[in-house]
A and B are shown apart, each in its own frame.
Chain A
Amino acid sequence: QKEVEQDPGPLSVPEGAIVSLNCTYSNSAFQYFMWYRQYSRKGPELLMYTYSSGNKEDGRFTAQVDKSSKYISLFIRDSQPSDSATYLCAMSANTDKLIFGTGTRLQVFP
């Protein structure tokens, strides 16, 4: 079993839809949770960072962490074609290692 599981997609949605991206993990020691957006042939861009459990909102993006279920989510409201990218979840257990999910490819069509 991989430490972090993420559905690779692709996920295709119409413009304006609410998008839900998810990751599950097996290591209960993970405390730091991040979501990155990566456009083709570019470096990952940090979207959201959450420490421990709870919700965090930033504009159209909401990150949720449920440590009891070992499940994290990223919601994108009012999705735009410019949101089309690969979304990577990443997490760490207070060490130097950041463990990535495989990434979900999202396509938002006009």
Chain B
Amino acid sequence: DTEVTQTPKHLVMGMTNKKSLKCEQHMGHRAMYWYKQKAKKPPELMFVYSYEKLSINESVPSRFSPECPNSSLLNLHLHALQPEDSALYLCASSQARDWTEAFFGQGTRLTVV
């Protein structure tokens, strides 16, 4: 099983809403990642969790708040987003902090209105 599951698949939210994106993997991977991808652009790294601890925050605005409740789950809490935050949000996981094979979920397509 090389599956990373993300929910929801689509999300429309207003600028005053609070919502959460969820990511789950059962491959025993101890590194999990959030990426943001705009149309026709490569994925951009947002956060890295290694052994459930935040190890990298790529200067992401505080309206994005990651959480790693356990080794299988990763959340991204959203609050007071802007329309320019509309994008495909991708979760990925890999075996350890070293980049071995990294697997991506199908993403959550977020639209901020």
Report A's interface with B, CB cutoff 8 A. 32, 34, 36, 41-46, 49, 88, 90, 92, 94-98, 100-103
Residues of B within 8 A of A (CB): 2, 4, 6, 31, 33, 40-43, 45, 48, 50, 55-56, 88, 90, 92, 97-107, 109
Task: Kindly identify which residue among B31, B56, B90 contacts A43, using a CB–CB cutoff of 8 Å.
Answer: B90
| Contact A46/B103 with A41-B109, A96-B55, A96-B56 known, Cβ cut-off 8 Å | yes
Chain B contacts of A46 at CB under 8 A? Answer: 2, 101-104
> Contact between A103 and B42 (Cβ–Cβ < 8 Å)?
yes
Interface residues of A: mostly helix, strand, loop or mixed?
loop
- With A41-B88, A102-B42 in contact, is A94–B98 under 8 Å at CB? yes
Shortest beta-carbon distance from B77 to chain A in Å: 20
- The smallest beta-carbon distance between B93 and chain A, in angstroms, is 11
